[in-house]
Amino acid sequence: MLRKSYTRAATLFAATALLAGSPIAASAATNSQAAAAVHGCPSGAVCIYPQDAGWNNDKPSHFYYSYGAHNLNNQFGTHRIFNNQTDGATMSTCTGYNGAGCEGKLPAFMYIDKNLTPINSITLQR
């Protein structure tokens, strides 16, 4: 399982945009956890990319914003999951529906390549 942090990239993005005079980046620069979209995944979201597509040219196939359980349907094989939530929110994959049987927690600004065949839901939590 491959995991990487985007905190440094988010800070660099915010600083670069701040130098360019972007008001959105100005607020992001004051809080490096408030990153903009990364690989097409909006700030505050957990994104799932298509099977065996990596970042899929920065086009996620699923976006999740609200805390709680989200059931998955017809997701098989390896997918990239990116947690672009803010304020330290985490996400978990679960073998049961409605958030039952959850495994570990993926921290904010991290991704994982995960076989979703046995996964039936994900949860987003603070």
- C-beta of residue 36 within 8 angstroms of C-beta of residue 22: no
pLDDT digits (tens, 9 = 90+) for 49-82: 999 999 999 999 999 999 999 999 999 999 999 9
Same domain, 121 and 79: yes
Tell me: pLDDT of 26 over 80: no
Global pTM exceeds 0.85: no
Confidence grade of residue 36 (pLDDT, cut at 50, 70, 90): confident
Confidence grade of residue 125 (pLDDT, cut at 50, 70, 90): very high
Question: What is the tally of structural domains in the chain?
Answer: 2
- pLDDT, average across residues 95-105: 97
Amino acid in position 82: F
Confidence grade of residue 35 (pLDDT, cut at 50, 70, 90): low
| Structural domain boundaries enclosing 24 | 6-32
Give the whole-number percent of the chain exceeding pLDDT 70: 72
Confidence grade of residue 1 (pLDDT, cut at 50, 70, 90): very low
The whole-angstrom separation of Cα 36 and Cα 11 is: 10
Q: Report which of residues 10 and 102 the model is more confident about.
A: 102
Same domain, 26 and 45: no
Q: Taking each helix axis as running N to C, give the angle between helix 23-30 and helix 7-19, from 0 to 180 degrees, rounded to the nearest 10.
A: 140
Q: What backbone torsions phi and psi does residue 104 show, to the nearest 5 degrees? A: 55, -175
CATH value at residue 59: 2.60.20.10
Determine, yes or no, domain membership for 1.
no
In 1-126, which residue ranges form alpha helices assigned H by DSSP? 7-19, 23-30
Burial class (CB in 10 A: 0-12, 13-18, 19+), 65: exposed
CA distances from 28 to 9, 22, 53, 60, 68 (A): 12, 10, 29, 22, 26
